[in-house]
Amino acid sequence: MLSKRIIACLDVRSGHVVKGVNFEGLRSAGDPSELARRYNREGIDELVILDITATIEARRALAQTIHAVARELFIPLAVGGGIHTEADAAAAVEAGADKVSVNTAALTNPTLITSLARRYGSQAVIVAIDAKKSGDIFAVYARSGKTSADRDAVEWAREAEARGAGEILLTSIDRDGTKSGFDCAMTAAVSSALSIPVIASGGAGTLDHFVDVFTTGRADAALAASIFHYAETSVRHLKEHLHARGIPVRL
C-alpha cells in the first residue's frame, strides 16, 4: 500500500503566510521561508504555496517567495495562485516549483490542464477544487471561494482527470480553518470517482481528523495549515499517531 502523504500549506499574501476561517478573516502566520525550513526539518512530505490573492489581483504568483521557499526544501514543492497560462506555470517552475496547481484558470479554460500535462507531465499538474455542500451536491467555487462556478465537484474532478490532471487538491470551504475535521463525505465522494490521488484540505484540528480522512474519507494525502503553523502538533507526532493506527506513512 502506498504511503499516505502529509502536506503543509502556506497561504501567502504580499509575501507573508496568512490563515483565516472559511476563506475570510486572514491573519498573519509567519514568514514562508522560516516555516518551510521548519517543515522540511520535521519531515513533511510535501509543501504547497498558494498565493491566495494573485488571481483576484490579476497577477502571477510571487517568484521571489517561491524561490526563497524552494531553497529551504528537499521535498516536492507545489505552487498555486495566479497561474492562468503556460507562461505563468513556466515562471513558477523556473522559480523552483516541482508542481503547479490551477483552479480558477482551469474552470475558465479546461484545455489549460491538458497543455500543462503535455508540457510537464500529469504528475506535475494539480487541479485545485474549492467546494462546499449545496443540496445534494458539492458545489465548486472559483476566485478564492468568492464566485460560484456552477459545477459539481465530483463531475469537475472527473473531467480534470480526463484532461490530464495528476492530482486533485480538494478544499472544503465549509471546514477551512475551523479545525472541526475534514469533510470526509466530500473527500470520499471525489476519491471514489477517480483513479488519481486526492489531497484533502480544510478542517484539520486533531490527530484523529487525519485518521478519519485517510480511512472514511479515502484520501491519498492530507493538507493542513493552522495545526502546523501555530505548533499545535508536530509532523513527527502526527505520523507516529497514524502509524500506530495502521495507516502507512513515511517516518
Catalytically active residues, by annotation: 11, 130
Rounded to 5 degrees, what are φ and ψ at 146? Answer: -95, -20
Residue 206 per-residue DSSP state: S
The answer to whether 38 and 24 are in contact (CB under 8 A) is no
Secondary-structure breakdown of the chain: helix, strand, coil percentages, each rounded to the nearest 5 = 35, 30, 35
For residue 123, give the C-alpha cell.
Answer: 504528475
Type of residue found at 18: V
Residue 177 DSSP SS3: coil
End-to-end CA distance of the chain: 15
Q: State the Cα–Cα distance between residues 171 and 237, nearest whole angstrom.
A: 24
Nearest partner of 37 among 52, 47, 50, judged by Cα: 47
